[in-house]
Amino acid sequence: MSLLPFVLVTSVGAVLALLLRRNDRVATAISVVCLLGAAVTALAIKPGQSVVVGGAGIATTEYLRLFLVLGAIVGLLLAVVGQAVGSRRDAPAVTLGVLATSAMALSLPDARLAVLAATAGGGFGALVTLAPIGGRGGATVGTRVLRATVVAGTMAVAATAWIGRDLSDLAAQPVVFGLAYLAFALAVAIRFGAIPAHAWAARLTDTVPESTLPLVTAWAPAAFAIVALAWADASIAPLLVDLDAVRIVVLAIAIASIVLASVAALVQDDIEHIVGYAIIGDAGVVLLAIAALDPAAWAPARTWILAFVVARSAFAAWAAATRTVFFTGRVADLRGWAIRSPALGVVLALVVIASVGVPGLAAFDARGAIVGLAVEGPFALLVLLGTLSPLVYYGRLFLVGVGRPDERHAGGGSWRPVVSPLDLTDLRRWLSRTWSDNLAVTATGGAALLAVLALAVSSGAFGASAAAAGLPPTLDVSRESFAPEDPPPPIESDAPSAPPAAGDESPAP
Amino acid sequence: MNQLLAIVALAVVGGAVVVVASRDTRTVLLALAVTLVATPLVADPLATPLGLAARLVGAILATYLLWVVARDRGMGESIASPTGGSRIGWPAEVLMAAGAAVVGYAAHGLGAPADGPALASAAGFAIAALAVAPVVTGHDVIRVGTGLLLLIDAALLVRGALGGTPGDVEQLVTAAMLIVLAGAVAALAANARADGSGGYVFSDPARGRVRREPDAHPLDQS
């Protein structure tokens, strides 16, 4: 089973790094090596494999492979950026833990098991709040992160348990299906910190560095959301039950998150809060896909999730690099940042294209498809315009960036590499000095790599669209994609009846 | 009704009552261990030995991680830091759990034939009711953390009541999840305790509460 090495490397690495966290250097070295190993072992995953153990089991898919490869690479780059800007020392270990649990969540065909693994991922996420000094504030915020995770997990366990049995002798009103669906959808909203369940995410943004934020509010909940999508498509969507009332609730949360998060990001003074609300706004699109309750939303939703998590990671890295270069994260104090550091300007431009997109990019088209499936009529156009609202706060950042620099804050770290003459007699000191002289360059370089990666994923590179259109993990792997004339699967099946999006190739595992 | 199953369910709920009612951290953790260890036994039929072993190890390891934090005395501390405890007292907690258990027993299956025992449903509802107060109103890491572990344990009991005894893989994943969640609570609790002399208390315990001024006898009129 090709998934096993990945799970072993990430889980053992996470546990080792957390156990040795008192020794900062050793723990970081273990984490970085294991992240490298995770990238290699993720690339070695072979889609279409399955192992059955006592009626349950795990199965690999192309989407799982792509998610884990991207997760490992992004985690590695964020770890490097975090080292350069002074991030939390536990962040790389938490990344490993989130990757291990995501691997399990995305490979378990039974949603009842997958939600348990995804909930454990949230438990790892809470550990980024641990701080060596002044730990009480971090512990307070971390406990609230954990509370959101467990409450969401409890709702998801109850929802999947209610439907995950023989319901041929159903005595309750069919509306109970709607309640189960609502419970899981709200659980996803809570995990993402969607508005109005965003209080914990806002406090988290106050506490942790920018580069660690996407781990907790994007990557870990993304696995949970993918499980929710598969479950809703297989268990709820095929039912001939009127669920409009509960769909409206989910739609309201999704639209409120998209629009109000952009408003909140616009009025924030600090770039880390802008990053935090940007993640919440993009998560609103994922909620829209869940609200669509249409198997046709399966492929675009998973395409969007990939683009969203990578693009927001790049945005977070940009924010971290900007803070390092200019020694401030206050927007008002960053006047002229794009002029003084053109490299960061290019990085943000790439992030904008990757996250907002242009017609023709896979992520842009996926978002449009999701909106079209979730909302009907002229309101769909308004919602689609709402999804473009991030342009407003990006515009504000660029306006500040090309403004006349404030003399009081005209300083800032150099964004050009500084390399002193090589000293072969004391190579260690030379390396140390070169590293410390180039922290801003390293952070900017990491952010640039992430931005390029985000643009590639957003444009559908690496076979993202085809992977997203593939089947969820199944123990009896089908070699055919679903065609429109295929009959819907039975209620207890884990496979969605979604036809692949137009133009997408069927994934042949 | 299987009498042995009823006794085990009673032990599970009894442990949960102690978890939410006691202020002594070590007592809380001992009771939590009883609840977590006995939870997989509230099933009919029982899980396979492999599945039971996984849950047993998971429950013990989860509690041990919390115990490590509770047993270590901080600098200058002569006794273990207390946790919040119940504000309404254990008799009220028992009554609340009993009421919720009746609801859970009566609502067994939630509208469709269930594959598990009704006692699991009763115990799950009782523990969920008990967990609400610490999760919502708790002001220290241990109280909220143990409340969260009880809440997810309640969901697992209800899952067993609805879908029947989980298989080996599910027991293994459940055990791993409990260890991760308990480990996270333990790490957060240790971090809070290492910061000053406030024990496990949150940094902003008064947040969300409105303190009324003494308006019965306004100071400016006295």
Q: Which ranges of A86-134 does DSSP label H, i.e. alpha helix? A: 91-107, 111-125
Distance from C-alpha of A310 to C-alpha of A48, rounded to nearest angstrom: 25
Q: Which ranges of B80-167 does DSSP label H, i.e. alpha helix? A: 90-106, 118-137, 141-163
Q: How far is A168 from chain B (nearest CA, A)?
A: 8
Report cis status (omega within 30 of 0) of the bond before A92.
no
Write down the pLDDT at residue A319: 95
Q: Quote the tokens at residue B140.
A: 């220290």
B166: which chain A residues are within 8 Å (Cβ-Cβ)?
Answer: 112
Q: Pick the range with the lowest mean pLDDT from A123-127, A170-174, B77-81, B112-116.
A: B77-81
What is the amino acid identity at position A287?
L
Distance from C-alpha of A304 to C-alpha of A354, rounded to nearest angstrom: 11
From residue A286, how far is each of A157, A206, A306, B94 by CA, in Å?
Answer: 20, 24, 11, 42
Task: Tell me the pLDDT of chain B averaged across its residues.
Answer: 87
A127, A167, A171 member nearest B187 (Cβ): A127
A57, A136, A170 member nearest B112 (Cβ): A170
Task: Give mean pLDDT, residues A75-82.
Answer: 93
CB-side neighbour CA atoms (13 Å) of A380: 12
Q: Pick the range with the lowest mean pLDDT from A172-186, A394-408, A412-426, B16-30.
A: A412-426
B145: which chain A residues are within 8 Å (Cβ-Cβ)?
Answer: 143, 146
What is the amino acid identity at position A148?
A
Strand partners for A51 = A58
Q: Are A167 and B164 a contacting pair at CB < 8 A?
A: no
Phi–psi pair at A486, nearest 5 degrees: -65, 145
Residue B61 burial (10 A CB sphere; 0-12, 13-18, 19+): middle
Q: How far is A143 from chain B (nearest CA, A)?
A: 6
Distance from C-alpha of A18 to C-alpha of A30, rounded to nearest angstrom: 10
Write down the pLDDT at residue A494: 43
Handedness of CA B193, B198, B204, B205 (dihedral sign): positive
Question: Is A22 touching B (CB cutoff 8 A)?
Answer: no
Q: Where are the domains of chain A?
A: 3-468
Q: Quote the tokens at residue A459.
A: 């444009």
Q: Residue written as tokens 């770890």? A: A79
What is the amino acid identity at position B179?
I
Q: Which of A292, A311, A236, A494 is CA-nearest to residue A300?
A: A292
How many CB atoms are closer than 10 A to CB A25?
A: 9
CB-side neighbour CA atoms (13 Å) of A209: 26
Distance from C-alpha of A491 to C-alpha of A384, rounded to nearest angstrom: 32
Q: Which of A279, A265, A281 is CA-nearest to residue A310?
A: A279
Distance from C-alpha of A379 to C-alpha of A390, rounded to nearest angstrom: 19
Q: Which of residues 140-169 of B touch A (CB under 8 A)?
A: 141, 144-145, 148-149, 151-152, 154-156, 158-159, 162-164, 166-169
A238: left (phi over 0), alpha (psi -120 to 50) or beta: alpha
Confidence check: pLDDT of B215 > 50: no
Q: Are A157 and B194 a contacting pair at CB < 8 A?
A: no
Distance from C-alpha of A115 to C-alpha of A157, rounded to nearest angstrom: 7
Phi–psi pair at B140, nearest 5 degrees: -140, 160
Distance from C-alpha of A438 to C-alpha of A347, rounded to nearest angstrom: 18
What is the amino acid identity at position B220?
D
Q: Are A18 and B113 a contacting pair at CB < 8 A?
A: no
For A216, residues 6+ apart whose C-beta sits below 8 A from its C-beta are: A94, A122, A125, A126, A128, A145, A204, A208
Distance from C-alpha of A304 to C-alpha of A298, rounded to nearest angstrom: 10
Q: How far is B127 from chain A (nearest CA, A)?
A: 12
Q: Quote the tokens at residue A247.
A: 């769909």
Distance from C-alpha of A484 to C-alpha of A501, rounded to nearest angstrom: 11
Provide the pLDDT confidence category of residue A443 given band limits of 50, 70 and 90: very high
For A118, residues 6+ apart whose C-beta sits below 8 A from its C-beta are: A101, A102, A105, A153, A156, A220, A223, A224, A227
Q: Are A129 and B188 a contacting pair at CB < 8 A?
A: yes
Strand partners for B140 = B201
Q: Are B159 and A161 a contacting pair at CB < 8 A?
A: yes
Our CA angle for A328, A333, A338, nearest 5°, is: 90
Task: Tell me the pLDDT of chain A averaged across its residues.
Answer: 87
Q: Which ranges of chain B does DSSP label H, i.e. alpha helix? A: 3-21, 25-38, 49-71, 90-106, 118-137, 141-163, 168-193
DSSP annotation of A2: T
For A344, residues 6+ apart whose C-beta sits below 8 A from its C-beta are: A318, A321, A322, A325, A337, A338, A415, A444, A447
Q: Are A130 and B187 a contacting pair at CB < 8 A?
A: yes
Q: Which ranges of A129-208 does DSSP label H, i.e. alpha helix? A: 135-163, 175-192, 199-207
Task: Give mean pLDDT, residues A252-263.
Answer: 96
Task: Give mean pLDDT, residues A50-61.
Answer: 86
Q: Are A136 and B202 a contacting pair at CB < 8 A?
A: yes
Write down the pLDDT at residue B72: 66
Contact by Cβ (8 Å): A69, A43: yes
Contact by Cβ (8 Å): A454, A355: yes
Write down the pLDDT at residue A478: 44
Confidence check: pLDDT of A409 > 60: no
B194: which chain A residues are within 8 Å (Cβ-Cβ)?
Answer: 135
What is the amino acid identity at position A245?
A
Tell which wins on pLDDT, B222 or A291.
Answer: A291
A220: which chain B residues are within 8 Å (Cβ-Cβ)?
Answer: none
Confidence check: pLDDT of A497 > 60: no
A170: which chain B residues are within 8 Å (Cβ-Cβ)?
Answer: 111-112
Write down the pLDDT at residue A136: 86
Q: Which of residues 45-84 of B touch A (CB under 8 A)?
A: 48
Return the SS3 of A58.
Answer: strand
B144, B162, B181 member nearest A162 (Cβ): B162
Mutate to test the interface with A, among B50, B180, B200 (most CBs of A within 10 A): B180
Provide the pLDDT confidence category of residue B74 given band limits of 50, 70 and 90: low
Distance from C-alpha of B219 to C-alpha of B222, rounded to nearest angstrom: 5
Distance from C-alpha of A380 to C-alpha of A387, rounded to nearest angstrom: 11
Write down the pLDDT at residue A481: 42
Least CA distance to A133: which residue of chain B?
B195
CB-side neighbour CA atoms (13 Å) of A364: 14
Contact by Cβ (8 Å): B9, B40: no
Confidence check: pLDDT of A429 > 70: yes
Confidence check: pLDDT of A263 > 70: yes
Q: Pick the range with the lowest mean pLDDT from A232-236, A243-247, A491-495.
A: A491-495
B174, B177, B188 member nearest A139 (Cβ): B188
Q: Pick the range with the lowest mean pLDDT from A267-276, B60-69, B75-84.
A: B75-84
Q: What is the ipTM of this complex?
A: 0.90
Task: Give mean pLDDT, residues A120-128.
Answer: 93
The packing angle between helices B141-163 and B49-71, to 10°, is 170
Beta strands in A416-489 (DSSP E): none
* For chain B, percent of residues with pLDDT exceeding 70: 86
Q: How far is A16 from chain B (nearest CA, A)?
A: 13
Distance from C-alpha of B99 to C-alpha of B101, rounded to nearest angstrom: 5
Provide the pLDDT confidence category of residue B221 given band limits of 50, 70 and 90: very low
Write down the pLDDT at residue A89: 74
Our CA angle for A105, A80, A208, nearest 5°, is: 70
From residue A451, how far is each of A344, A447, A455, A502 by CA, in Å?
Answer: 10, 6, 6, 27
The pTM assigned to this predicted structure is 0.89
Distance from C-alpha of B118 to C-alpha of B107, rounded to nearest angstrom: 9
Q: How far is B90 from chain A (nearest CA, A)?
A: 24
How many CB atoms are closer than 10 A to CB B40?
A: 27
Q: Which of A334, A262, A309 is CA-nearest to residue A450?
A: A309
Handedness of CA A240, A244, A249, A251 (dihedral sign): positive
From residue B26, how far is each of A477, B29, B72, B83 by CA, in Å?
Answer: 49, 5, 11, 10
Write down the pLDDT at residue A328: 87
Q: Are B191 and A130 a contacting pair at CB < 8 A?
A: yes
Phi–psi pair at B42, nearest 5 degrees: -85, 70
Write down the pLDDT at residue A504: 42
DSSP annotation of B201: B
Return the SS3 of A57.
Answer: strand
Q: Quick one: three-class SS letters along A260-280?
A: HHHHHHHHCCEHHHHHHHHHH
Q: Where are the domains of chain B?
A: 3-203
Q: Pick the range with the lowest mean pLDDT from A324-338, A401-415, A435-449, B142-156.
A: A401-415
Task: Give mean pLDDT, residues A377-381.
Answer: 89
pLDDT in tens, A197-214: 999 998 898 888 888 999
